[in-house]
Amino acid sequence: MKRNIVIGPPGTGKTTCLKDKVDKLINGGHCRPDEIGYFSFTVKAAEEIRDRVAKDEWSEAELKKMYPYFCTLHSLAYKRLQLQQSQIMDQSDYDDLSRLTGRYFVNKMKKGNGMDISMPTAKSEYQDLINLAYAKFPDDEDRLNKIFRTVKLSDYGARNTIEQMDLDLKNFKRDRDKLEYVDYFNHFLKRKNPPPLKYLFVDEAQDLSAHQWQVIDMIQEVAKPIETYVAGDDDQVIFRWAGADIEHFIAMAKNDDNTIIPLTQSYRIPKSVHTIATKLAQSISRRIDKSYKPRDEEGERTVLNIRPLNKGLAEGEWLILCRTHEIVQQVSESLEQFGWLYKRY
């Protein structure tokens, strides 16, 4: 399946490139807004493009009707399957499941985070691993064992517990005819009923999971859009913990059947940051080779010393990114000594 791959480092205008293409298609009379599928990893990103393209002042309800397929892939599956909220797992279902099994299940279907994935929490470690297994290996019955080989489990006997939780959750959903996000895609892929799209756009493609790529492939195969545009940057993948399949994106970019559209001027990154970012990116063993120019400004680099941790991180909530697994282990041990609650990814 032929695709146009827009590749651009930070601030080079990948989303703007897609938006301009959408503008030309609609204003040039090539298609109607409802014949375009624009899918992004987050609800906010998809709706922002929709609003920038629409330009005129419309109500939210009118915009949703005019641009029905500017959304996330989970939202698309929900619409095409004509699901009702009563079919979706809610808090009472997770409470009942916890009571019946004697294990604590977290409500992973809560809205409000702007994404159609559930953010990990300290209380949902095992559920997060189950979700990761389905995202990375959607068709593999041995998916949990493959995940077990890549993670360090905190408790002895955790494998058996996770396998039983997966089975309990599947049986519960079957008995009550309830769905989670992973089930949206499974049903959508079986039904194969995407909308009749003339043009297909996928933004932030580096963060799509193997399961999401299956949905994209199905849409393109069945709807047969005239053109497909995919935008992303393998150096900017941030949802690996949720199953982002960056290898798929890299392979797609190296496929000679696809057309590469490189963006080489950053309007966000100053020279000082560009120097550091380029050196760091070059240390990645498997990536798409690319070069870009920084904006014409030196910029500032500010180094915040967070050591000792019990002083530097004494207030607020923090995300700590470490260069090596060894440093992650050192930070984890320090946080444990302080008695602070933390989640390790």
pLDDT digit string, tens, across residues 38-56: 999 888 888 889 998 887 7
What digits encode the pLDDT tens for the residues 6-30?
A: 999 999 999 999 999 999 999 999 9
Same domain, 91 and 31: no
Position 41 scores a pLDDT of 82
Q: What is the mean pLDDT of the chain?
A: 90
Whether omega for the bond prior to residue 308 falls within 30 degrees of 0, making it cis, is: yes
Distance CA 9, CA 186 (A): 33
Instruction: Confirm whether 144 is domain-assigned.
Output: yes
pLDDT computed for residue 284 by the predictor: 87
Which pLDDT value is given to residue 117?
62
Return the residue matching tokens 């279907």.
109
Q: Does residue 114 sit within a domain?
A: yes
- Per the CB < 8 A criterion, the answer to whether 53 and 19 are in contact is yes
Strand-strand pairing, 199-202 and 70-71? unpaired
CA of 208: how far to CAs of 42, 214, 232, 241, in Å?
11, 10, 10, 11
d(CA 18, CA 53): 10
What pLDDT does 134 receive? 95
Which of 189, 176, 178, 221 lies closest to 77, judged by CA? 189
Identify the pLDDT of residue 163.
97
Q: Is residue 291 part of a domain?
A: no
For residue 118, name the pLDDT band (cuts at 50, 70, 90). low
Last residue of a domain, one of 225, 246, 269: 269
Considering the domain architecture, whether residues 64 and 202 belong to the same structural domain is answered as yes
Range of the domain at 113: 85-178
At residue 310, the pLDDT reads 74
Mean per-residue pLDDT, 173-186: 95
Q: How far apart are CA 75 and CA 85, in angstroms?
A: 12
Residues for the chain: how many in total? 345
Please tell me which residue, 162 or 341, carries the higher pLDDT value: 162
Q: Which tokens hold the place of 215?
A: 């949905």
Number of domains in the chain: 3
Residues in Cβ contact with 303 at an 8 Å cutoff, skipping those fewer than 6 apart: none
What letter represents residue 148's amino acid?
A: F
Question: Is the pLDDT assigned to residue 113 strictly greater than 70?
Answer: no
For 199-241, write each residue's pLDDT tens digit: 999 999 999 999 999 999 999 999 999 999 999 999 999 888 8
What CATH number should be reported for the domain holding residue 54?
Answer: 3.40.50.300
What confidence score (pLDDT) does residue 122 get?
61
What is the pLDDT, as a whole number, of residue 116?
58
Mean pLDDT over 173-195 rounds to: 96
